[in-house]
């Protein structure tokens, strides 16, 4: 007779809200930290098939730093039509869009990606959302 073992883990009962101040930080460091928190890798109850109840608010997204010559390098965008390839510099794109695209590319490419990106709120400027009272401030090194 074969014994069956079931893996069990505790699901968090309440949602966690994290606040990240991106003032003067590099784009890659901020976006990798956001991706880790959205996936729930910062908690002991991490499971790759389970969406953690983590919401991330990023303030001062317009003050993210692009190091080196990255602000002058081209970014290629395609409209999915014939001849629809467009290019522009990263500096001309908004910092909010750059941060969102960087986080999106660091998340797994499966069904959970869209649901995880809905939990990310990027705010240009210093104002905080008033409906959330309990934030956990994240330090990015």
The reply to whether 104 falls in a domain is: yes
Average pLDDT by stretches of 10, the chain with 141 residues: 73 82 93 94 83 91 90 89 92 90 94 94 87 81 73
Q: Which residues contact 119 (CB under 8 A, 6 or more apart)?
A: 38, 54, 55, 56
Largest Cα–Cα separation, the chain: 66
The reply to whether 2 falls in a domain is: no
| Distance (Å, whole) CA 26 – CA 6 | 42
The reply to whether 56 falls in a domain is: yes
The reply to whether 79 falls in a domain is: no
CATH of the domain at 134: 3.90.1180.10
Q: Containing domain of residue 27, as a range?
A: 16-66+94-138
The reply to whether 42 falls in a domain is: yes
The reply to whether 55 falls in a domain is: yes
The reply to whether 83 falls in a domain is: no
Count of domains observed in the chain: 1
pLDDT for res 71? 87
Q: What is the value of pTM for the model shown?
A: 0.85
Burial of 85 (0-12, 13-18, 19+ CB in 10 A): exposed
Structural tokens at position 80: 């999915």
Residue 87 is inside which H or E element, if any? strand 85-89
Structural tokens at position 104: 């999106």
pLDDT for res 20? 93
Residue 35 is inside which H or E element, if any? helix 27-39
pLDDT for res 121? 95
| Distance (Å, whole) CA 137 – CA 21 | 8
| Distance (Å, whole) CA 135 – CA 94 | 26
Distance separating the N- and C-terminal Cα atoms of the chain: 52
The reply to whether 132 falls in a domain is: yes
């Amino acid at each position: 007779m074969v014994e069956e073992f079931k893996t069990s883990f505790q699901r968090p009962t309440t949602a966690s809200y994290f606040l990240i101040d991106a003032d003067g930080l590099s784009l890659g460091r901020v976006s990798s930290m956001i991706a880790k928190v959205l996936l729930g890798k910062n908690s002991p109850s991490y499971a790759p098939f389970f969406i953690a109840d983590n919401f991330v608010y990023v303030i001062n997204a317009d003050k993210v730093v692009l190091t080196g010559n990255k602000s002058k390098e081209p970014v290629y965008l395609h409209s999915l039509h014939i001849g629809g390839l467009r290019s522009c510099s990263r500096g001309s794109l908004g910092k909010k869009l750059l941060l969102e695209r960087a986080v999106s590319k660091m998340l797994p490419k499966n069904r959970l990606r869209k649901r995880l990106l809905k939990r990310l709120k990027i705010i240009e400027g210093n104002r905080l959302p008033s409906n959330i009272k309990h934030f956990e401030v994240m330090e990015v090194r």
